[in-house]
Structure 1
């Protein structure tokens, strides 16, 4: 009977205690366990432990270092420097007895004190652990700064760590010195010596610590000299040190460092020999004077006024050259290739096959105008959404061409409120479905052409999508459980509804009640624990926004704002460009332009890493795109196995890599000024450029780069390029056209076409003015508006075709009373002041050809607008157009 009672009580206790213990552990460890399981689900378990332990290893190493410094010195002072002293005074004898007892128990005092001080001093290393590891693993950059001759990697990695370590060491040594002074003073009071002096061992110990402090002081002056490379006193002329810094400030810093060494030696001599006092006073006065001259503008202002300003260009030319070279290297602009564009004055004789290929790749639609069309015609169901339009290039039926495409992602917020049940949100509507694709060039007199469309997707040859389900994307993705006993909704076609079961290995397996409990606590969803719809194969898929996913894995990378979808080998992949940046490149000007997608100061930027995310499984793969980037190499050394070489990327995905538009915009914004490599030209800003702006009503929009497939780099090969027109600073005529390759060996290759200075090539703002003033276009727009439609002009595309700079722009109509879906109505083709409007590019080019011939026959005398004046915005019907110049 007693045994039965014991068993019953024990069983009851277990049934009560186990759930309590499980809930307690789940609450205490839920964040840690969820992250661990999530990393392990991506096969990054080792990487998870690396990121977790590296911080504590660096911090622990710093704590050990400073603990050794504190404890070793305190222990040395307490144990080995004591000596018998006369006890002729009773007070002294009592103090001595107290001191002797303290010596015997000093370990119990110094041990916790040293540990506490070490933890406090080393704490910054806990937060900057990754910077320390990069310093330890970074390779040499292979280039040196022009002043001190140190490798650039020293500035990118070592200098920030040295500045951090300097502060910690100085604090540690000052605290140690104060502690030792207090210790020896108390010892001296307990055991007074003849002549009232500290014993020799104490003086020697204090001298060593004081000498180290003075050596660190010399190090401070060395850091002050190195930081001259980051001075901005000469902006806006140039960045970095100039004549005053190199000829005045740097010698003053060197003199102060020498005086600091002398003062340290004199002070040590004074402490140990009581000699050298007057010399020490003189040295201190000299140091104060030198430091004062260095930090007050009196001397540098005088040098600038009397030596530099009358001969500024001559004095500053070498330093301007240093700034130019460093800035071009920091933004990867050293190897920019410049070419003269052979502007053609005569008309085309005919539309050649090469021109036909050019025209077939001109993106008439832009992403913003096309998005409503995709949504209206291809979302099909309310729970699907297109988050944005991507640009790509594919071989379609054997023809390499540019396309637009978008992923049809899940959009649960659009579900009817009555269908917003827990089962639907967590078990049923788990994924998006398929992509749609259209050619970049369309005709206004023909229906929209589709390469991939519908549910299930229908595609032309070579663009089939074997796995259209999208579980990971760029939209708003809630956590889901898949597969499950309720089965997932796959797609609806006609009157039939297809169900599916997730067969991937994404997410985290829900294989136990404990895991379900932890996830229920983590997400605040008790139904995760209570539901009976999970199976042995069920997995919890979360962090499904690929940007959130990547940031959780690698927060150190700078993500391009526009990840894009790609179809490769019948599967869907998201490709995310990632950059590395630093604010420590010596002599390079920090970026302060209009493109601020990077949320930190920087003066060094690289297209360093390509990230590929499987839209079905959520697998995240990292590839080092720039093996010459020391930052990317340092990361790959810190985390072996995470970053792979580009040779490991599947070829089917490689064909869809593209140079990030946002990074190219930043590079060209810098290049607009730093293409001037001659110091005199740079000083006068004789040929400064800028990214053009176009005025629409009261707004001015800046033109940014866009993708186009043309033969601009190799004449015999059509390639996928980013192009960006450039205008002279303060003027509106086009001065240059920047192009960067995206295909094969030409990836990242920048070619800048310069237009002859004596030839007027109209810029986007001027052409915009000509279009507004064209009476035929104004008449057509007025007619459309009277018919209840809203007309707007799309993105203006610059297309150099056969030696002629042509501007192409679509006109889109939106019905104001019904669906706002835009419809391509006409295509504007402009060459100089000549403007035509047609239903297709081919027709527009033929009309333009006839206009050019007619003009050459008539040879009218026309007054051209001054290129340095902004174009007048005509008050005609085009004022009703909502044009997008992006």
Structure 2
């Protein structure tokens, strides 16, 4: 006989497969290891090595613990169910299942940490008398554990039953109709475990009633407390009785299911009493779950509550009001009356110069479009958004708007998009454009305080107010491409007409990449082998990655929620990004969730500062008494710094975040009502007023990520433009002492964020709300309510009066017929002493141009509406008729060459 030549192929194929498997596993391990090494270096370079260690050790520690416990549990159960099964197959099944469960558990590692490190709040819920920390931190973990326990038990029971079926081919052997005793004990025990977790679920359901939406408000109502809660207790008790019965049968009464004998004798009295007991227990539980758990509470709600809802639910409505206010930090709003007198005089304007000369006439979108036309300089520069801030200039507090000039890699010409250019040459943006909020040139364009490349101050006062030692922006909103600095290649600093200016990075950002082994690791991890092959590196070269500030801060602290609008700050000689960060929860009891349903508790707990040149990131505690941030601080003691550690210059630019204020005003529109009956009847429901947006002609390009009306100059959006939208909050400098001397005894002007309210389905103003931004007063909320005895015009009413003004409407129609289009800007409500001024800018844009010009200013006061080329002239027309139009007239005159200067200033700085 001759040997089959094909026989050696099998061991060879097996060897090759084994080698490939080992290589694959080694490759995966190497990739993970290199990734961990790079991450650890990146975190440690920023000073957050402990954060990285905790963020990696906690999920892996939890995962390994769950994997071990699950493997032990499942291995014992499978060994009992099928001891004759081959160990490799059983081990593979245990390993895969345990790994899947461990991977799921690792996704919830932070839930475990906050429960472990939780801080008490010091406030108890009024029904179950638990500290609020139980709901914020413990209850989410307990609910998760209950779900895991139940489904692990159910999965184990199903797997065990399958093993017994495969082992015996059927659960009831035909020989005697009896289930094998061991299998019976085993399945009864697993059934008892399932009922144990089911009872725990009912027990925890009592606490989730604090988020109930059964009534017309969030939180437990009368039915929840007096019907649903007792029902949950009864169901928990019945489930635990069922669990005890199953455990008893598993331990002492096995092999007693004999349905075959009962069938043969045609007498069901032969059915064992244990089976009857189980049927009664579980049948009773099933009926109770439907009848007591579902129908009974609904019956109570319909018969006992709905006919007398206010009387029954009054104490629970009060809980909802109190806890919603606490959840949104609205418990200490200072409410004052505001009696509109409309008695302004020229002397009043002089007393309120700081307010009037800072009225913001530039909207985000038209100003952004102007910046992009006038100041981008090169096609690869981009202004991503416009931000509002305040600076002291020549001794006066001035409101300004600015935007960072970032490098947008998508705008680099395709032929120039080489690997070297992307990673070595085009490395950073440069400087910013900055202008006052209401100063324009003679042709209606922004009159800059800082402009051009390199950034140039337009006056000595501006130069003193905005010192910038290094305007390069290596870290920003658009910088999403990894770059290498301190290399042998030329690095563009900024362009000039005659030649480019080159630079070498002098900052502290980035990780070393000069050594060959470092380049090898980075090339492997990022899958870019040109990193290894390039000859541009030297021993001092550094690698800058995760340069987009949103990605940067989220990688460091993913458990915080970040504001949509980072803003640039000039401070300490450099450029810094300020980002507001929030702690949020959906688990604050009795608190009304937002319309999106994603939170019912929020605090602006952290201010994040990112250095635009070095990339350093600092997290400062802005609300140290917030229980959530206190818990995070215990988890990461090295992550957060006290707010006092922030430089005084940076602290002077902290502002109350717009995103938070919008959430608070939405809730306050309902929760300003403190009386339960008024709240229930919705007698005094408010809303954020709408403002009319009238756009003539085609749309231009532009837009602002930060702006609410980002469709204003965006020609790419399809469909009709909206004619109205909710009036966004706006920042302003306000002399609050002229309105309320007790709120600001110093009399100094301050930076504030303001929003207005109207009654629901009405257009008249009912109140305005302001958030203070400066110094010790930061974060305080003020509400000024108008008298209900007189009408105060709201934004839509004022804009209707503007639209109906014959001179203004005729002028707008004329402009729209002469190769241009007119856009009406946002209407601003400006409180001045005990009066209100309504100010609206008017922008003119030629059909063949995308450069809007601020061409008119409309002011409404009392029964007067005027339109003039400048704010000064409009105010003079209202309050100094000898210098302009007569009082009460509507002016539409053309400009006579007078510069558009803010009231009280002699010239633009």
Q: Bigger CA drift: 473-482 or 109-118?
A: 109-118
Q: Distance in 1 between the 2:757 and 2:885 partners?
A: 28
Map Cα deviations across residues 339-359 of structure 1 (whole Å, 9 max, x no partner): 111211434252443321111
Map Cα deviations across residues 219-257 of structure 1 (whole Å, 9 max, x no partner): 2221122222222232xx212332222222222222223
TM-score (norm 1): 0.82
Q: For residue 528 of structure 1, report the CA deviation from its aligned partner.
A: 2.8
Kept after mapping to 2: 8 A contact 1:121/1:171: no
Is 1:833 matched with 2:873? no
Is 1:331 matched with 2:328? yes
Map Cα deviations across residues 445-474 of structure 1 (whole Å, 9 max, x no partner): 587432222322223213111111111111
Q: Distance in 2 between the 1:25 and 1:509 partners?
A: 23
**Unpaired runs of 5+ in structure 2?**
1-23, 172-177, 254-271, 695-721, 737-742, 890-909
Kept after mapping to 2: 8 A contact 1:722/1:739: yes
Alignment of 1:264-663 (within 5 A): 264-265=243-244, 272=252, 283-297=281-295, 299-348=296-345, 350-442=347-439, 448-459=446-457, 460=462, 461-523=464-526, 525-592=528-595, 601-663=598-660
Q: Indicate the residue corresponding to 2:212 in structure 1.
A: 231
Change (3 A) 1:21 1:40: farther
Q: Indicate the residue corresponding to 2:16 in structure 1.
A: none
Q: Distance in 1 between the 2:645 and 2:884 partners?
A: 57
Q: For residue 687 of structure 1, report the CA deviation from its aligned partner.
A: 0.7
Aligned with 1:63 (options 51, 67, 82): 67
TM-score (norm 2): 0.80
Matched residue SS, 1:350: helix
Matched residue SS, 2:477: coil
Matched residue SS, 2:145: helix
Q: Indicate the residue corresponding to 1:132 in structure 2.
A: 112
Q: Bigger CA drift: 257-266 or 355-364?
A: 257-266
Is 1:53 matched with 2:57? yes
Aligned with 1:729 (options 760, 766, 781): 760
**Unpaired runs of 5+ in structure 1?**
1-19, 79-98, 190-195, 594-599, 861-886
Kept after mapping to 2: 8 A contact 1:343/1:804: yes
Q: For residue 365 of structure 1, report the CA deviation from its aligned partner.
A: 0.8
Map Cα deviations across residues 272-330 of structure 1 (whole Å, 9 max, x no partner): 37988877665555433322223433x34433333223222111212222222222222
Q: Distance in 2 between the 1:592 and 1:245 partners?
A: 23
Q: Distance in 2 between the 1:852 and 1:255 partners?
A: 83
Kept after mapping to 2: 8 A contact 1:410/1:477: no
Kept after mapping to 2: 8 A contact 1:481/1:539: yes
Q: Indicate the residue corresponding to 1:782 in structure 2.
A: 813
Kept after mapping to 1: 8 A contact 2:877/2:885: no
Q: Indicate the residue corresponding to 2:701 in structure 1.
A: none
Q: Distance in 1 between the 2:489 and 2:475 partners?
A: 21
Alignment of 1:165-184 (within 5 A): 165-172=145-152
Change (3 A) 1:484 1:118: closer
Q: Bigger CA drift: 325-334 or 630-639?
A: 630-639
Map Cα deviations across residues 762-820 of structure 1 (whole Å, 9 max, x no partner): 11111111111112222332343344332222121110011111111111222224x42
Change (3 A) 1:24 1:346: closer
Q: For residue 530 of structure 1, report the CA deviation from its aligned partner.
A: 2.8
Number of corresponding residues = 798
Change (3 A) 1:349 1:431: closer
Q: Distance in 2 between the 1:24 and 1:312 partners?
A: 62
Aligned with 1:754 (options 778, 782, 785): 785
Matched residue SS, 1:325: helix
Q: Distance in 2 between the 1:551 and 1:793 partners?
A: 38
Q: Distance in 2 between the 1:601 and 1:393 partners?
A: 33
Q: Distance in 2 between the 1:339 and 1:856 partners?
A: 35
Map Cα deviations across residues 846-871 of structure 1 (whole Å, 9 max, x no partner): 3223689999999x9xxxxxxxxxxx
Matched residue SS, 1:245: helix
Map Cα deviations across residues 527-577 of structure 1 (whole Å, 9 max, x no partner): 433332222211122222111222232222222111110000110001111
Aligned with 2:201 (options 215, 220, 227): 220
Q: For residue 630 of structure 1, report the CA deviation from its aligned partner.
A: 2.7
Matched residue SS, 2:663: helix
Change (3 A) 1:499 1:175: closer
Q: Indicate the residue corresponding to 1:707 in structure 2.
A: 731
